[in-house]
Amino acid sequence: MKYLLLLLSLLPWMAQAKPDLARVMGETLIERGSDFYTFKHFDLPSADGQRHYRVYLAIPKQAAPTSGYPVLYMLDGNAAMAALEDQWFRALPETPLLVMVGYAGERVINAPARTLDYTPAPQTGQPLVFQGRMAGGASAFLQLIETQIKPHVEAKYQLDNQRQSIWGHSFGGLFVLNTLFTKPQSFNRYIAASPSLWWQSGLIMEIEKQLPADVQAQLLILHGELEGQAHKGREVPKERAAAMRAVGADAVPKMLKRLAAFPGLQLGYQQLPGLGHGPMLPASIPWALKVATEPLAQ
C-alpha cells in the first residue's frame, strides 16, 4: 500500500509533463546525492562509430545479498537518470543495481540514435514511418548490451543471474518486446512501457511468432490511459497515424491474450490513469523497479 500511495502521489505532476526532445538533463541524483546509491559512468562507441554511448551505473550503498544484486537495465539512460527520485527506493524490498544506457551529451532524448538502436529491421519494400531517420538496428544494439555492457558490469559487481530485468519506453518498449520474442534468454524480467506496437504497421506482431514455446520469463506492459488521444496543437504525422490505424487500438490486449498461451511466461498489465505517452516514461520507472526487485517465487 505504501508503494501504491507513492506512485499515486507522483501522477499529478507527471500528467502535466510534455515530451521535449531538446530538453537537457539538468541536475540529477548524481548532483543532489542519494541515500541509496553512488554513481559512476563509462563510455563506449557503437560498432560503426556513429553513436557514442554513456552508461550510467547506480551502485547500491548496501552490500550485495548472497545471491547478488538484482539488476535493471534501462534504455533512454539519460532520461532515466534525469527522472530518478530517491523516494522511489524507500518502499522497495531491495536496492537494485541500475544500468542506464544513454548517449553521450546532456540531451535527455537522442531521437535519431534511439530510432536506429531500438527498432527491429523493417520488412523489405515497406516504407519507413520516419523518413530521414535510420532504423532497424535493434539486433546490433542488443549485441552491444550482451557483449560489451553486460560483461563490464558483471566483472565489477555481484549480480543475481535470476533477477536480470530490462525496461524501455516507447521505441524502448518496442526493443524490450523484440528482445523477449527473439532472444528471451537475455533477461528474466521484461518491462515494456507504452511500446510502439505501430512501428512498421505492427511488425512486432510478426516477430512475436518467434517466441519459443518453452520461454521462461516475466513480462509487464504498462500503458497510459490517455495514450492515443488527440492533443491540442499536436498533429500526428500521416504515416504514423496510418500505421497506428493498421495495428488498432486493441493491439495490447490482443497481444496479451496470445501470450497467455505460453505457460512459462508470467504476464502483467497496468494502465496508469490520466497519463499520455510522454509522461509514461518517468511514471513507469517505479513499476519497473518493483518488478526488478520482486523476490523469486518459492
The one-character DSSP state at 157 is S
Three-state secondary structure call for residue 16 = helix
Q: Of 170, 196, 201, 284, which is the active-site residue?
A: 170
Contact 272, 280 (CB under 8 A): yes
The greatest distance separating any two alpha carbons of the chain, rounded to the nearest whole angstrom, comes to 53
Is 277 a residue of the active site? yes
Three-state secondary structure call for residue 48 = coil
Is 227 a residue of the active site? yes
Pull the grid cell for residue 208. Answer: 512475436
List 116's β-bridge partners, or say none. Answer: none
Is 106 a residue of the active site? no
What is the rounded distance in angstroms from the CA atom of residue 177 to the CA atom of residue 192?
Answer: 7
How many Cα atoms sit within 13 Å of 104 on the Cβ side?
Answer: 10
Residue whose entry in the numeric block shows the C-alpha cell 537495465:
73
Q: Of 85, 154, 227, 294, which is the active-site residue?
A: 227
The residues carrying an active-site annotation are 170, 227, 277
